Each structure stands twice: as structure tokens, then as C-alpha cells.
Amino acid sequence: MKQARPATLLLPLLLSSCDYQSYQSTFSDAATEVRNFNILFVVFLVICAFMYVLVIAFLVATIARRRRAHANVVEAGKHHESDPLMRTGLIAWGALVATGLIGLAIASFFTDRSMASAAAHEKLSLTVTANQWWWDVQYNASDVSKTLRTANELHLPVGVPVRITLRSNDVIHSFWVPSLAGKQDLIPGRENDITIVPKKVGVYRGQCAEFCGTQHAHMALVVNVDSYGDFLKWWQQQLRPAFAPATPLAQAGYNYVTTGPCAACHNIAGTPASATVGPDLTHLASRRSIAAGTMPMSSGNLYGWVEDPQSIKPGSRMPTIGLEPKQLHAVVAYLETLK
């Protein structure tokens, strides 16, 4: 094991360098949980590969022995137990297997323990509620007037253990950000949780990992891991209510959004639109994607999404309203001010 240790530490790094990308990869080392998983993976791989090679070697040896003449003869009266070589061999094999299994068990135990200890010292608490087919994200704070509600995109501070409480409003979903942690289901009627300690600043992609309906494939989320200072700045910025519309076109968009069908489902803080059915739009324009990772955020995509969501994400709850072109220009102009 002593020689194996530098190798086991090196292998995860080797593995991660194998990938062409690290923003959605189980072999990345962006968080403590994933690093632990990767070390465990390597330990299992090495031990099991070793055993596999041994078994194959014995199999090959047995097949090769057949070529000799007297391999088939079974000598009468001779039993395997009385063959000292066989007995030593079996005992050695048993000891080898036992050692291997104990090694696996110890590695697994230590991995679990490190995950649990992270969970016991959480410093930040989030609640993620999965809906068909988007993520409702709420940041909890002991001062309730600082709680924050957003959708489909998380910001996490690097190095800080964060505990995410997972709930679902309809069917079973699964929270999976491969670069940061393993999968954890969101089950209606139950609260699960997952603890993540991000270690590397960056942007990571996650997605729903439990089939949840027509648009399960379009239920992704983005996790930004920021430095602690940047994270606090982001939280402050998110607490601010939406900017008032500055141009007449944006004002027309504001009027439509707050009095028309948009306000029946969406919340824009600081405006009369206070509904909770759909994602919170207060800072929509500061996000990287639209409709839970379905499309990247851009002006053209916003136009397409607002005008006809059913052709992009058919079956999703956002209806195709059929806006007039002028209304569409106004609405998108207003939405783009929601930074």
C-alpha cells in the first residue's frame, strides 16, 4: 500500500487531465466530495483491477496447461486437501481476498466519514425545490429579511461547506452536479439533503438525473463557485429589487409583464408581479441560461423563448401566448433590464 499511495493520489489528477472539459465531469476535483469519490474510485479500481488480472492469469494458466499430456488424468485416491501446495495456495488466496475487501471497506468508511463531517459543519444553507422542469433555489439566512429566491442557477462560495435541502413539488427528480458531488434525489413529501464543499472557483453544470417527465432532458442547472467576497457581492446584488424600467419600450414591457399573463406565474421583486408558480425573474438577465439550461442567455434566445416556449420545450408549463411583435419587443426589452 505504501508504494500505491503516491500513485493513488496521482491518478485522480491524471484522470482529470484526461477530460476535455471539467465543468460537468465526475473526474474533476472541484469539490471535496468529488475528490473523495475519485480517490475511492481509484482505490477500488486498483484493487479490483489487480484481482481481475490475477484471476485472468490463473484462467490463462489453466487453459495453457491443457495442452500438456497428462492434465486430464485424475489420480485415484488423491484429494486436494492433502496437496500442500493447494492448501497454501487456497489460504493465500483467501488472505489476499480478505485483505482486498478490508482495504475496500476501510477506504469506503473513510470516504463516508469525511462526507459526514462536512455535513456536520455546514455554514451556508440552501433549499432547492424541484419542479417540472426547473429548479427553485432559496438561500436561507438567520436574518429572514436577507433570504433570497432565485431559479436554475446557484452561486456558492469556495471552501465553505454548504448544505442543500432538497424538496420536490411534483415527482421525483435528482440533483446532480457531477463536478461537485454525487446524485441525490428530490422526492415529493420528503426532505433530503446534500452537503458540498467546493474547492475550485469556476462554473459547473448539473442536470436532473431521475426521469421526471417530457422535458427531463431540459432540466439543467448552473453552479458558479466564487471567491467568498464575490459571493457576498452577488448575494447583495440579488437582494436588490428589480430596476425600474428606464426607456419607454421597457416601460411598455413592464406594463405588460405586470398586468398580463406573466404576472400569473412569475415573481419580479419590487413590482406587482408576485406569483410563485414559475421561476423568479428578478435577476433573469444575470443568469447564463434560459429555461433551466435549455438555451444560453442571449437576446435572440430570449425572443424565441418568450414568443413560443412550446416549440423549444414542448410540454413545459410556460404557455405559448402568441404576443404581437410590438409586445414582444417591449417584453424582451424589459426582461433584459433585469440584471
- Residue with Cβ nearer other proteins (94 or 261): 261
Grid cell in block for residue 273: 408581479
Closest approach of Cβ 141 to other proteins, in Å? 9
Closest approach of Cβ 292 to other proteins, in Å? 17
CA angle 187, 189, 195 (to 5 degrees): 50
Q: Is 94 in the site for other proteins (CB under 8 A)?
A: no
Residue 279, CA atoms < 13 Å, CB-side half-sphere: 27
Q: Are 319 and 237 in contact (CB under 8 A)?
A: no
Closest approach of Cβ 216 to other proteins, in Å? 15
Closest approach of Cβ 320 to other proteins, in Å? 5
Q: Which of 18, 73, 85, 144 binds other proteins (CB under 8 A)?
A: 144
Compute the distance between CA of residue 180 and CA of residue 24 in angstroms, rounded to an integer: 9
Piece of the chain touching other proteins by CB under 8 A; list 163-171, 200-208, 226-234, 328-336: 163-171
Piece of the chain touching other proteins by CB under 8 A; list 40-48, 74-82, 100-108, 272-280: 272-280
- Interacting residues with other proteins between 197 and 256 (CB under 8 A): 239, 241
Q: Which of 108, 117, 247, 274 binds other proteins (CB under 8 A)?
A: 274
Q: Is 260 in the site for other proteins (CB under 8 A)?
A: yes
Q: Where are the beta strands (DSSP E) in the chain?
A: 124-131, 134-140, 148-151, 153-157, 162-168, 173-176, 184-186, 192-196, 202-208, 220-226, 289-290, 295-296
Q: Is 248 helix (H, G, I), strand (E, B) or coil?
A: helix
Piece of the chain touching other proteins by CB under 8 A; list 17-25, 92-100, 311-319, 330-338: 311-319
Q: Are 268 and 238 in contact (CB under 8 A)?
A: no
# residues near other proteins by CB under 8 A: 38
**CA quadruple 148, 151, 152, 153: dihedral positive or negative?**
negative
8-state DSSP, 152: S
Which residues in this chain contact other proteins in the complex, by CB under 8 A?
140, 143-149, 167, 169-170, 188-191, 239, 241, 260-261, 263-265, 269-270, 272, 274-277, 310-311, 314-315, 317, 319-322
